[in-house]
Structure formats: C-alpha cells, structure tokens
C-alpha cells in the first residue's frame, strides 16, 4: 500500500512538472508573438508582469507579480518555521498566521490573474470561454495560442509604442498674454525599473474669465495634469500664466495659482477670521501692511458670505461653509488661476450649486477657474469649456478633447458630461472604451 501511495505521489508530481513545462513553453511563444522576449516565461514572478503587458492589462500584471512574490516569500518563511525542531505554541501560531496571509494574497492574485486572462482573450479576439481554460487548464490554451499560427494577437506591445509615437505630434498651444498656455509634452515616472508615461501631448490655452470643467476617468491623469500646471510637480512642459513662466519663475508666481484640494487641512480649533489671517500672512507679499492684510481678509469673507461666521470655530462650520473657507484661503492672494479638486464633494445639490455659483462669479472677475467634479451635469450651465483626458491603449493619459460645452456634446455625440466620461472609460469600469477613437479624432481635427 505504501508503495502505491509513493508511486501515485511521484506520478502526480511528475504530471504537475510536465504541465508546468508545457505551459511555460506556450507562454514563451505567446510573449514572442506579442513582440517581447520569450525567455521571460521562465522567470518566476516577472512572467506575470510580462503577460499582463501582452494582455493590455499592465497594472493587473504588475499586481499579480508583486502578490506572487510576497505570497511565496511568506509561505517559505512559514514552512521554515514549521520545520524547526522543538517549536513552541507561539511559533505554531505564527506559522498559522503566515499561512493564512499567504493564502489570502494568493486569492487576491487569482482574482487579478483572471483579469489578465480576460485581457489576453480580448487581444486574441476570442470568446470568454477561453478565460475558464486559462484559469483552470493554463497549459492547454498556452500551447494552442503559442504554437498554432491560427492564434494571432491583434496588436503587439511594441506596436503600441510605435503607434503612440506616430500619433503624438509636437503641437503647440497659442500663447496668451493674460491667460493660461499649457504645452505639456510628457510627464513620466519610473515604475518597475521602467520609464512610464503618465501624460503626453496636452496642449491648450485658456483665456481669462473662463470656468473650465476637467473630466476623465480614474487614472486618466487629471491630478497629474493639475500638479504639472500649478508647478507642484514639474513635467516636460512650458506653462505660461499671465505672461510668466510657471517653472522658471515658480517662487515669484506660486501664489498666482490658488489650489483647493478635495480635503482641507485647516486647524479645526481656529476661528474663520484667524484662519484667513494666517493665510494672508503666508500668501500676501511680505511688505503688505497689517492693515492691508485685514482689509483683504474682510473683502474675501464678504465675497464668500463668511462675515457672519468670522468668530466661529472651523469645527463648528457646516460642510458647505468649510469648503468656502478653504477656497477663500486661496483667493486671499488674488490669483490669476483657480484650481479646485471636487469642491462639491459631500455637499447636497443645493449647497453644491451655490458654491459653484461663487466660483462662476470669481471667473467673471477675469480669473481662470478649473474644476474637477464627479457630478458635472447638475452645474454644467455654469461652465464655459471642458477638458477631457483619457487613457489610450498604452495606458497613457492623453487629451481627448478641449473646447466649449456645446462643442463637446457634438464631438462625442452625447448630451451629458457623465456620458462623455463613460464613452472614453474602459469596459472594465462600465465604459465604452472609445478613448483611442476620440484621441485620434481630436488630434486629426487640431492638426488638419
């Protein structure tokens, strides 16, 4: 009986090794079909990332790679502790905890790996039945797709880079004497020891007095764009505001930009008046007299209807009032450009609209106001223009549209701005995945 069990165990082990070898052989040829080096199939963990690239699911591939590494390392540690002689109860508890953690990471990895197989199935133009085969019998589709000439990917990893280089053109936005001119060639970061493009080819000019809506799905580059425009994180770009160069003259121009983040950082135990006075001390020129600072604070409180709450503590204010104080802090220095990241977050429809009306009045004073909001349609009548950022096939943020609200409706064939976002969003989040179509259409129209 023992002999039979040993034989069965050895047979199972050998079968597993053979299936793994066949799977890796198939992945070798799949990687080559996608324009990558086949030997990546033999590199533990890294092959998950490379297959993710082939599938057009690079973020998911990166996660499966990281999760595979840590789950294996944790399980290895658990096994090493478990084999220690004379282990006590405490060590047994640690082994159990590590094993559970390793299994949890493996489960999460399994979920993301399914997304990779879904992407690979789409790239090869096959139905979703193949996803089940990839998930449970990986050697079979790997060999078929890798060895058979009938299975060909619709695009290669390197083709996307070449296509991107061909489409991206060295445009240039019109330089405005008093407005904002953005010529952003690229914004990059190093991820996984590789240069990654976060944004490319964003060129636009905004005249004074315009209130602009900034749209884009998650990860499209909205915050990256705003950080580049404000000078907070520089890109390969030229940002001109009211005739000054934001990057070359940052110290003298930083208060020309008012940036109100989604979450305020005010001290809750301070009064409204003291909070604004502190902002005035920081943002106004050093030579500004105490009397002039007080006068400016009074003016700003009057603009935002904060005068009745001047002695109230920040923690006692309503959500709408706190938003007004946060924005008022940025208005103190009388900036030319206002940037607001979801200023209506957490507010009901009435309060949100009242706040947006205040921003409209600021724009009407000759300022440029750029707003991110996830509920644009309830206040769309207050905006002049819209910027739409979207990820192309290579996961790079690109400019899919810039123009008036009416032009955007015609361009996308959609009445609501929320539908516009859905049009360029990937299918994985309920979108139509037409970003490349509109990025190319906008590029062609601009350079025609």
CATH of residue 189: 3.40.50.300
pLDDT score, position 93? 79
| Total domains in the fold of the chain | 2
Residue in 193, 221, 257 with CA at minimum distance from that of residue 62: 193
Residue stretches of the chain with pLDDT short of 70:
1-16, 84-88, 90, 158-173, 191-194, 447-448
Give 84's contacts (C-beta < 8 A, 6+ positions apart): 91
- Same-domain status, 332 and 297: yes
- Same-domain status, 297 and 277: yes
- Max Cα distance, the chain (Å): 97
Residue in 396, 391, 342 with CA at minimum distance from that of residue 371: 342
- Cα–Cα distance between 437 and 4 in angstroms, integer? 62
- Same-domain status, 149 and 177: no
Single residue among 121, 154, 187 that ends a domain in this structure: 154
- Same-domain status, 16 and 67: yes
Give 128's contacts (C-beta < 8 A, 6+ positions apart): 118, 121
- Same-domain status, 251 and 123: no
- Same-domain status, 49 and 178: no
Single residue among 118, 133, 154 that ends a domain in this structure: 154
- Same-domain status, 145 and 291: no
Asked if 411 contacts 438 with a C-beta cutoff of 8 angstroms, the reply is: yes
DSSP-derived 3-state class of residue 182: strand
DSSP assignment of 118-148, as one string? HHHHHHTT--THHHHHHHH-THHHHHHHHH-
pLDDT score, position 6? 44
Note down the domain range covering 138.
2-154
Residue in 256, 199, 204, 196 with CA at minimum distance from that of residue 228: 199
Alpha helices (H) along 311-434: 319-331, 349-364, 405-412, 417-424
- Same-domain status, 146 and 187: no
Single residue among 135, 154, 173 that ends a domain in this structure: 154
pLDDT score, position 209? 93
- Same-domain status, 88 and 185: no
- Same-domain status, 171 and 57: no
pTM above the 0.85 mark?
Answer: no
- Cα–Cα distance between 91 and 305 in angstroms, integer? 63
- Same-domain status, 86 and 190: no
DSSP-derived 3-state class of residue 174: coil
- Same-domain status, 234 and 357: yes
- Cα–Cα distance between 415 and 24 in angstroms, integer? 49
């Amino acid at each position: 009986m023992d002999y039979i069990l040993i034989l069965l165990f050895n047979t199972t082990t050998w079968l597993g090794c053979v299936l793994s070898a066949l799977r890796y052989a198939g992945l070798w040829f799949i990687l080559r079909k996608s324009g990558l080096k086949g030997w990546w199939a033999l590199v533990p963990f890294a092959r998950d990332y490379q297959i993710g690239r082939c599938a057009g699911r690079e973020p998911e591939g990166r996660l499966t790679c990281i999760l595979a590494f840590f789950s294996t390392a944790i399980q290895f540690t658990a096994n090493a502790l478990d084999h220690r002689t004379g282990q006590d109860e405490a060590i047994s508890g640690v082994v159990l905890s590590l094993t559970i953690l390793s299994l949890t990471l493996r489960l999460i990895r399994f979920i993301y790996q399914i997304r990779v197989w879904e992407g690979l199935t789409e790239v090869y133009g096959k139905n979703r039945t193949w996803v089940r085969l990839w998930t449970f019998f990986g050697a079979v589709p790997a060999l078929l797709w890798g060895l058979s000439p009938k299975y060909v990917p619709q695009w290669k990893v390197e083709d996307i880079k070449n296509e991107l280089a061909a489409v991206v053109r060295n445009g240039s936005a019109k330089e405005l004497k008093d407005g904002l001119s953005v010529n952003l060639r690229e914004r990059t970061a190093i991820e996984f020891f590789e240069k990654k493009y976060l944004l490319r080819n964003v060129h636009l000019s905004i005249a004074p007095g315009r209130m602009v809506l900034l749209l884009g799905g998650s990860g499209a580059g909205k915050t990256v764009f705003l950080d580049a425009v404000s000078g907070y994180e520089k890109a390969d770009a030229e940002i001109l505001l009211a005739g000054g160069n934001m990057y070359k003259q940052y110290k003298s121009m930083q208060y020309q930009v008012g940036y109100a983040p989604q979450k305020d950082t005010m001290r809750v135990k301070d009064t409204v008046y003291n909070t604004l006075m502190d902002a005035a001390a920081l943002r106004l020129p050093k030579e500004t007299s105490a009397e002039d600072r007080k006068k400016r604070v009074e003016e700003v409180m009057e603009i935002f209807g904060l005068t009745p709450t001047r002695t109230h503590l920040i923690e006692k204010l309503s959500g709408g009032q706190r938003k007004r104080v946060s924005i008022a802090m940025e208005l103190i220095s009388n900036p030319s450009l206002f940037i607001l990241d979801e200023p209506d977050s957490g507010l009901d429809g009435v309060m949100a609209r009242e706040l947006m009306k205040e921003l409209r009045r600021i724009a009407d004073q000759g300022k440029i106001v750029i707003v991110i909001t996830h509920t644009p349609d309830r206040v769309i009548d207050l905006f002049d223009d819209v910027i739409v950022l979207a990820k192309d096939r290579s996961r790079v943020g690109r400019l899919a549209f810039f123009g008036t609200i009416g032009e955007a409706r015609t361009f996308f064939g959609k009445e609501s701005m929320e539908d516009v976002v859905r049009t360029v969003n990937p299918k994985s989040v309920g979108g139509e995945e037409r970003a490349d179509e509109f990025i190319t259409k906008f590029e062609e129209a601009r350079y025609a």
